[in-house]
Amino acid sequence: MKYFVDCCAAKGGDGSEKNPFNKIQQAADIAVAGDEVIVKPGIYREAVNPKNAGQEGNQIVYRSEKPRAAHITGAEELKNWTKVEGSVYTARVSNKIFGDYNPYTTLVSGDWFIAYFIAHTGDVYLNGKSMYEVQSLDEVKKAEPSDAAWDTDFSRFKWFAQQDTSKDETVFYANFLDKDPNKENVEISVRKNCFYPEQEGVGHLTLSGFVVSQAATQWAPPTAYQEGMVGPHWSKGWIIEDCEIYESKCSGISLGKYLQPNNDNKWLKTKYKDGTQTERDCICQAQIEGWSKEKIGSHIVRRCDIHDCGQTGIVGHLGGVFSLIEDNHIHHINNKQNLAGAEIGGIKMHAAIDCIYRRNHIHHCTRGIWLDWQAQGTRVTQNFFHDNCPPRRAGKEIKAEVAEDLFIEVSHGPTLVDNNIFLSARALKLATQGVALVHNIIAGSFTAVGRGTDNGTPNRNSARYTPYHFQHRTEVAGFMTILHGDCKFYNNIFIQQPVCTEFAARMQINAHNEWDDSNFIAGTFPYENYPTSEEWKKQFEGYCGMGSVTTDRYYSELPVWAEGNLYLNGAKAMSKEKDAYINSLEQVEIGYEEKGDKIYLKTNLYDLVAAGKIPAEALKCKLMKTEDIAPAFEPEQNYENPDGSPIIFDTDFFGKKRSENPIAGPFANASESKEALF
């Protein structure tokens, strides 16, 4: 059955092409497996609550008739602004417009949210872009720029709201600078979601080709109900494709956790149990309540443009397992810097079990991807990362966390990172174990190696015990602290970029910081003191049959492997890597440039090879296979495909085949470095 929706149609339509519905919700109330809802161009100011699930292989499809011409928004227009003084205006709205959820009395809050700034879930938008909330009318009038904001100029557009309880109205004040709000498009967020089922288990839906924007979403930590502007709400088999998703207060897409009333933000509410303990409780409870491969996850998010969200572009815990995130453009996340906490990134996923993140372009985010807890069977491949730390401005200190392209935290692996290009000053934060990096260009540093895995208590042990799972399943096989190491580095190209003065200072100040050493030197050298496989195994010789002899060997650092890597421009190798090629004489350039609507890698590396200044033989390496990489220690699981089949690393960044005698880095041959990346 096909249903048609047209926002310009009269009320009372029957959903036929000649007599369409005028609200998407009308179709969402009745569509069942196999149905298609075709939505004509226009603005749909509604929160669509799909009522029925599709079936595996028989989706309910919601499709914009013209790609990105149907726009679902959580905002309403706000007109009739009156001048207060200068460029400051005011407007009022009846609180009846909000129903039972007023975003201007609801504060952003939740576990791991740092409330250094009072923020409401609502926002005011000038021509589709959210202005900056402040705490008083006086701050609105001053319109001072925010030093933390990435877009300093736009940060002068301020707003403030207060309640007139006598009239049951929300009163807005805003500084529009050189704009006249009565001539511009000014909107306020009204709804908390845009396309999101209220009930759990509404699976096998497809959302295709829509623009979705401006919802008043709440902070989404792993220990709470994780809502987003769009999301499957604890179900299976959604496809979100070809959409533009932007200006969610917190998260654009949520693949995440369902509501556990007894565990919802418990750490925030009571503080009696540590946050990591409540997270362990959440995971175990979810297993009893139906978290399984058969019921949850296996979503696809592809070819979407996700940008300008306050917390994350995509968030999830438990509900995103077995998912595929591919060919997306994720950018400008958390750039306002008005939200802070340990749940921020272009993608922030807990329990990315058997998830694949491939061919995504991720940039200008406060952290690109953050894989936190249970990154097991996870693969990050063929992605391009750059500018995922705050901009460096002369004379201005970076107040926020510096961040990086990819953060893998307290997971046991296996986490496979292959055929990517990392160009941010910090490439990977590795407070974890069980990671293999194969055929990447890494023009940034490794940070937090050997640290960042305890809870930071001043006087007592506070190791974080995190779960590992039965292979390719959700069931917990055990809990263990992070021993560190168990990392593998094969056929990568490390390139040192210049280190700015502030970053150099951070390295000195934070050298012994237990959370993050602020290292900005590229290469594997942070693993210098880790054992080789042979050294590690020697600890266990002669202990058979000796019972419970006291020993440290079960809690020592795990071994590290490295082979076939290049280190250029001062990038540093660990000394135990015997075949490392190190060249600090030639100045290797690395960056990117935009030409029209295409983006290209900008490097002279392969020109230096062609000129013989870097020998071609230095790039030659072994064709790697799953069998060549030691399994992740704790789960005893290979670096393999989600179906358990082995991987041959014969496919490069572009999907082209490598020869039996490949070169290091993400390209099958040097000429590909001139091709458009995206």
Write the pLDDT tens digit of every residue in 567-616: 999 999 999 999 999 999 999 999 999 999 999 999 999 999 999 999 99
Q: Is the pLDDT of residue 561 over 90?
A: yes
CA distance 39 to 65: 5
**Burial class of residue 52 (count of CB atoms within 10 Å of its CB; 0-12, 13-18, 19+):** middle
**Is 351 in contact with 374 (CB distance < 8 Å)?**
yes
Which tens digits make up the pLDDT trace of 44-55? 999 999 999 999
pLDDT of residue 560: 98
Strands 82-85 vs 88-94: parallel, antiparallel or unpaired: antiparallel
User: Whole-prediction pTM value?
Assistant: 0.97
For the segment 439-454, the average pLDDT, to the nearest whole number, is 97
Cα 342 from Cα 291, distance rounded (Å): 24
What percent of the chain shows pLDDT beyond 70?
A: 98
pLDDT surpassing 80 at residue 464: yes
Q: Which residue has the tokens 């306020």?
A: 188
> What does the alpha-carbon distance between residue 646 and residue 627 come to, in Å, rounded to a whole number?
8
Residue 97's pLDDT is 97
pLDDT at 548: 63
Measured CA distances, 515 to 503, 568, 639 (Å):
16, 28, 28
Q: Does residue 441 surpass a pLDDT of 90?
A: yes
Q: Would strands 305-307 and 329-333 be described as parallel, antiparallel, or unpaired? A: parallel
CA distance 357 to 472: 16
Cα(272)–Cα(261) distance, rounded to whole angstroms? 17
pLDDT at residue 25, as a whole number:
98
Residue 393 pLDDT class (50, 70, 90 cuts): low
Torsion of CA 248, 249, 253, 256, to 10 degrees: -170
Residue at 160: amino acid letter: F
Cβ-count burial of 57 within 10 angstroms (0-12 exposed, 13-18 middle, 19+ buried)? exposed
pLDDT in tens, 108-148: 999 999 988 889 999 999 999 999 999 999 999 999 999 88
Least confident of 359-363, 550-554, 656-660: 550-554
pLDDT at 547: 61
pLDDT tens-digit series, residues 2-50 = 999 999 999 999 999 999 999 999 999 999 999 999 999 999 999 999 9
The pLDDT value given to residue 481: 96
Closest CA to 213 of 128, 292, 152, 280: 128
pLDDT tens, residue by residue, 302-350: 999 999 999 999 999 999 999 999 999 999 999 999 999 999 999 999 9
pLDDT exceeds cutoff 70 at 471? yes
Q: Is 24 helix (H, G, I), strand (E, B) or coil?
A: helix
Amino acid (one-letter) located at 494: F
Q: With a cut of 60, say whether residue 395 has pLDDT above it.
A: no
- Residue of 329 and 551 predicted with greater confidence: 329
Which residue is it, tokens 């609502």?
Answer: 122
Which of 247, 367, 244, 234 has its CA nearest to residue 301?
244
pLDDT > 90: percent of the chain: 90
Q: What local confidence, expressed as pLDDT, does residue 117 receive?
A: 80
Q: What is the pLDDT of residue 519?
A: 95
pLDDT of the residue at 195: 98
User: Is 462 a residue whose pLDDT tops 60?
Assistant: yes
Average pLDDT over residues 523-527: 98
Q: Closest by alpha carbon to 576, among 608, 639, 528, 533? A: 528
Q: What is the DSSP string of 244-306?
A: EEE--SSEEEE--PPP-GGGTTHHHHT-SS-HHHHHHHHHHHHHHTT-STTTSB--EEES-EE
Look at residue 398 in the predicted model and tell me its pLDDT.
61
Look at residue 543 in the predicted model and tell me its pLDDT.
67
Tokens 């263990």 found at: 480
Share the mean pLDDT of the chain: 95
**Range picked from 392-401, 451-460, 487-496 for highest mean pLDDT:** 487-496
